[in-house]
Amino acid sequence: MVVTPIETRYKTEMNALFEEDAKLRSWLEVEVALAYAHAKLGNIPLEAAQEIEAAAKKVELARVNEIEEEIHHDLMAMVRALSEKCKKYGGYVHFGATSYDIEDTATALTLKRAIGMMRKRLAATKDLLKSHAIQRKGMVCVARTHGQHAVPTTFGLKFAIWFCEVERHLERLDQAEAIISVGKMSGAAGTMATFQGKGYEIQELVMNRLGIKAAKATNQIVQRDRHAQVIFALALIAATLEKIAKEIRNLQRTEIMEMSEPFGSKQVGSSTMPQKRNPHKSERICSLARLVRGNVAIALENIPLEHERDLTNSANERFIFPESFIITDYMLKELNKILAGLQFYPENIERNLEMTGGAVMAERIMIALTDRGHGRQEAHELMRNCSMEAYREKKKLLQILLAKPEVTKLISKDELEKLFNPKNYIGESVEIVERAVGKQ
C-alpha cells in the first residue's frame, strides 16, 4: 500500500529519478566508473572492469533488498549483489572505496539530473509569465498595498515582476547545479589512504567518466552545505510559486474577481455549496510551498555533523531530496496549467478601479498641485483631508475638490476631470514591462 502522496496525487516525471531502482542504477554507475579507473591505472585487469560493467546490468533490486535484510547495510548489499554477478573478478568490486564514495557521488548525479528537469519546467513558467506580461502590459488595474487600494498599475507589471523573479531562480538553479555536481573517492575519513598514492588519479578518472567534478577536500562525505544550497534554491522557487498563486487566490475573491484560475465545465467547488468556484489549485500550491520551505531547516541541520561524519543526515535525506524536488516540480506543473488557462474579468477590473470614487488618484492631484506652486507637504495634507472627507460623506473625490478654492484656483475643472482618468496614470509601466521581458 502506498502511504506518501508524492507516489500518487503529486507524482510527476521527477519521481523516476528518485525511485529505489534508479538509486541502485546510480550506485552501480559509480562502481563501474571506479573499476575502470583502477583498470586505467593498472590496479586491476581491464577484463575485470568490463566484467563488472556487464554484471552491473544484471543486478536486481530484489536481490539487493534480500541481502540488506540479512546484513543491515544497503550499500554493502549492492556490493555483494554485484559481486555475485561477476564470474571471475567479483573481488575487485568496490576496491578501495567507502560507502559514501559511492553514495554521495551517485547523489550528485541524481540531483544534477533533477535540476536539469526542474530547469525545463521553470523555463516553461517563465515563458507563460512573459506572454501574460506582454499581452497585458496596458491592462490597467488598481494596485493594493496593505490590502488597500493604492494607485493604478497594470497586470502586465505584475507578470513582469514574477517573470524577473523566475529568471533569478533559473540563475540559482545553475549555481545549485554547479555546487552539487561534485563527487568523491577519498575513503573512510577523506585521506585516500586505501588508494595507495593514486587517490587523486582515481578520483579524477571516476569523476571525468561520470561528467562531474571532484570535491577538493572531504572527510567521509561530501559536505552538506552543497545539498542545503540545492534545497534552499527549491524553497525559493516554491516561495515564488506561492506568491503568484496567492495573488490569483486573492484576486479571485467573490468581491474582487479580477482574475481566476481555470474552472472546468464539470468541476465541483464544494460538496455542499453548488455555487462555489474555489481556487483549490492555487491553494494547493500555497500549502505545498510550506512543506518545501520546511525542508530547508532539515538541510541546514545536516551541515554540522560530528567529527569526520555521523549518520544523522542519512535517514532524513531519503525524504527531503525526493520530496523537495517532486513537490516543487508538481507545483510548477500545476501553476503552468493555471497560467495557461488564467481567466480575466475586465468589467470587475474597471469596477474596482472606480470603487473608491477617484481616491486612488489623490497622489496624482497632489503632484499636480505641487507642480503649480503648492508646497508638497501642504498639498499632501490637503489631499489627505479631502480624501477623508470624501470617504465620510460617501462622495467622489472630484466633487470634494471642486468645492475647494485652494484647488480650483490652481487647476481648472476640465483639467481635474482629465487628471482623474486612472488609465493615464500608469507612469512607465509599459516600458518597464518591455524592458523586463522584451517586446512582442
Instruction: Report DSSP state, residue 215.
Output: P
Distance CA 99, CA 107 (A): 12
DSSP string, 62-116: HHHHHHHHHHS-HHHHHHHHHHHT-SS-GGGTTTT--HHHHHHHHHHHHHHHHHH
Give the torsion sign (CA, 421, 422, 427, 429): negative
Instruction: Report DSSP state, residue 264.
Output: -
Residue 209 has pLDDT above 90, yes or no: yes
Q: Is residue 71 part of a domain?
A: yes
Pairing of strands 343-344, 259-260: antiparallel
| Mean pLDDT along residues 77-96 | 97
Residue 101 has pLDDT above 90, yes or no: yes
CATH number, domain with residue 48: 1.10.275.10
For residue 159, name the pLDDT band (cuts at 50, 70, 90). Answer: very high
Write out the residue range of the structural domain in which residue 379 sits.
359-419
| Mean pLDDT along residues 77-95 | 97
pLDDT of residue 72: 96
Domains identified in the chain, total number: 2
Is 26 noted as a catalytic residue in this protein? Answer: no
DSSP string, 410-423: TS-HHHHHHHT-GG
From the CB of residue 352, how many other CB atoms can be counted at a distance below 10 Å? 20
| Cβ pair 407, 401 in contact under 8 A | yes
Residue 157 has pLDDT above 90, yes or no: yes
| Cβ pair 362, 400 in contact under 8 A | no
Average pLDDT, the chain: 95
Residue 3 has pLDDT above 90, yes or no: no
Q: Is residue 286 part of a domain?
A: no
For residue 2, name the pLDDT band (cuts at 50, 70, 90). Answer: confident
For residue 27, name the pLDDT band (cuts at 50, 70, 90). Answer: very high
Of the chain, the percentage scoring pLDDT greater than 90 comes to 93
Q: Is residue 112 part of a domain?
A: no
Question: Alpha helices of 252-313 — where are they, by DSSP H?
Answer: 280-301
What is the number of residues in the chain?
A: 440
Residue after which a domain boundary falls, among 51, 75, 95: 95
Task: Give the torsion through C-alpha atoms of 89, 95, 99, 100, to 10 deg.
Answer: -130
Q: Is residue 67 part of a domain?
A: yes
- At residue 259, φ and ψ (nearest 5 deg) are -150, 165
| Mean pLDDT along residues 360-373 | 95
SS3 145: strand
Give Cβ neighbours of residue 100 (< 8 Å, ≥ 6 apart). Answer: 184, 220, 221, 222, 309
Give me 340's grid cell. 495557461
Distance CA 359, CA 133 (A): 27
pLDDT of residue 274: 79
- The position carrying cell 560493467 is 53
Distance CA 237, CA 115 (A): 12
| Mean pLDDT along residues 12-41 | 97
DSSP string, 359-377: GGGHHHHHHHHHHTT--HH
- 72, 146, 271, 307: the catalytic one is 146
Q: Is residue 388 part of a domain?
A: yes
Question: Considering only CA atoms, which of 336, 326, 338 is closest in space to residue 118?
Answer: 326
Top-confidence residue, 440 or 410: 410
Give me 391's grid cell. 470617504
For residue 379, name the pLDDT band (cuts at 50, 70, 90). Answer: very high
| Mean pLDDT along residues 214-218 | 96
Distance CA 13, CA 328 (A): 12
Residue after which a domain boundary falls, among 45, 65, 95: 95
pLDDT of residue 114: 98
Distance CA 230, CA 318 (A): 15
- 73, 270, 287, 412: the catalytic one is 270
Is 387 noted as a catalytic residue in this protein? Answer: no
Q: Is residue 70 part of a domain?
A: yes
Question: Alpha helices of 181-306 — where are they, by DSSP H?
Answer: 199-210, 225-251, 280-301
Q: Is residue 385 part of a domain?
A: yes
CATH number, domain with residue 396: 1.10.40.30
| Cβ pair 107, 25 in contact under 8 A | no
Q: Is residue 185 part of a domain?
A: no
Report the Cα–Cα distance between both ends of the chain, in Å, rounded. Answer: 50
Residue after which a domain boundary falls, among 48, 74, 95: 95
pLDDT in tens, 239-285: 999 999 999 999 999 999 999 998 776 777 777 777 778 889 999 99
